[in-house]
Amino acid sequence: MNKRGNQSSSNGHHSAGVEALQESKGLLSTFSHASAIGFAVLDNQLRYQAINNCLASINGMPAEAHLGFTVREIFGEVSEQIAEPSYRRVLDRGEITHFEITTAVLPARIDSHYCGLNLNFPIRDRAGRIERIGILVVEVTEQRKLERFFHELAGELRHTKTREHFWFTRDLQASIHQYHAALAMSLGSLIADRVDPETNAEQLAQSVELLDQRIVNMRKLVSSVASRFPMNQQF
């Protein structure tokens, strides 16, 4: 009788695990066409189980090269010091966590000073166990670079007679900062939509598409603004 009970429990756990994996695949499909929102699924050992092309591009390596490897194996010190504590809170407490990586050097990328917004959320099985972590990533390297440039420029203009230029650069800096805050909230809204029983897969996909397009438009604007200023290479 115990054997049968244990077998039933095992089958139930397997079924719940399959269900969670299917949800992971569904989420990957939802984010598969996003060009500005990276998405990945980690298992409870922080190994990559799924990743979209956007995040693979951000990380500087093919999607297939991530699968089965842990975050630490790929990113080393960046993962250990910044990402893993946040991921552990998701697994241990079921929290939705977020962090920003600022001016990090990613091993597989030639360019340095990468910046990225990260939001992490639990993916539960049918029994409520947290089997996996969903990760959303948006690269904001160029935005942060421009924000720092305006911060430095405002400092240089503070004691000049061109006060209107000082306030102009301060306003630009503040606008970019506000954009990052709004972006973090928008990523949070996507996760809220995901867990809302009133929201179906099609609605979530539409929300992802809309936010993705907004990020693309912001990047075009940042590129246009940056081209008008002699930004120092140190940024």
Class level of CATH domain 2-226: alpha beta
Question: Strand 38-43 to strand 48-51: parallel, antiparallel, or no bridges (unpaired)?
Answer: antiparallel
| pLDDT for position 93 | 95
Task: Give buried/exposed letters for 153-192 (b at 16+ CB in 10 A, else e).
Answer: bbeebeeeeeeeebeebbebbeebeebbeebbebbeebbe
pTM score, two decimals?
Answer: 0.82
| pLDDT for position 19 | 57
Q: Within the chain, which residues score under 70 in pLDDT?
A: 1-23, 112, 156-167, 230-235
Burial of 83 (0-12, 13-18, 19+ CB in 10 A): buried
| pLDDT for position 159 | 66
* Domain locations in the chain as residue ranges: 2-226
Burial of 112 (0-12, 13-18, 19+ CB in 10 A): exposed
pLDDT in tens, 75-134: 888 788 889 999 999 999 999 999 998 877 787 777 767 889 999 999 988 788 898 999
Rg (CA), the chain: 21
Contact between 52 and 164 under an 8 Å Cβ cutoff? The reply is: no
